[in-house]
């Protein structure tokens, strides 16, 4: 069992990283339109600036996610909990892949599709994390 101080650190880092990763994506959706008014390169510059914060946050999410798992005994969890956990792991991977493909997209359609995949998977992952914590 981890000491309460380490539990607090682990959960704080995880929630803070989720705030940056998921919340930042939601903020970016609201900023892209106004950024277009600043010039044709403004949205890309904004996206690049966000990526410098978002990708480290994603790494912290993955690391603290595994750390969170280390605090549970697999055998003592219900079948439903295990199913949600497995689904969450898949969705977290889909969120990262969607964001990566969005960043590398060269067409408006690619940007839209992969941005949607990354964003929806990120929100779904957040919801699944709340289900697992409850």
Summarised one tens digit per residue, pLDDT across range 56-101 is 999 999 999 999 999 889 999 999 999 999 999 999 999 999 999 9
Share of residues in the chain with pLDDT > 90 (%): 90
Does residue 23 contact residue 81 with C-beta atoms inside 8 Å? Answer: no
21 token code pair: 């990763």
Chain-centre distance for alpha carbon 131: 16
pTM, rounded to two decimals: 0.91
Does residue 35 contact residue 42 with C-beta atoms inside 8 Å? Answer: yes
Q: Give yes or no for residue 1 having a pLDDT over 90.
A: no
The pLDDT value given to residue 37: 94
> What is the domain extent for residue 102?
4-133
Q: Give yes or no for residue 8 having a pLDDT over 60.
A: yes
Q: Give yes or no for residue 46 having a pLDDT over 70.
A: yes
The pLDDT value given to residue 23: 97
Overall number of domains in the chain: 1
């Amino acid at each position: 069992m981890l000491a309460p101080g380490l539990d607090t650190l682990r959960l704080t880092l995880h929630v803070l990283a989720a705030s940056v990763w998921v919340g930042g994506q939601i903020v970016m959706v609201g900023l892209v339109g106004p950024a277009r008014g600043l010039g044709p390169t403004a949205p890309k510059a904004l996206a690049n600036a966000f990526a410098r914060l978002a990708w480290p946050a994603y790494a912290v999410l993955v690391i603290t996610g595994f750390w969170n798992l280390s605090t549970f005994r697999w055998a003592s969890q219900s079948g439903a909990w295990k199913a949600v956990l497995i689904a969450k792991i898949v969705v977290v991977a889909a969120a990262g892949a969607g964001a990566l493909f969005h960043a590398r997209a060269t067409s408006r359609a690619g940007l839209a599709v992969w941005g949607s995949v990354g964003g929806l998977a990120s929100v779904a992952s957040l919801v699944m994390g709340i289900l697992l914590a409850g």
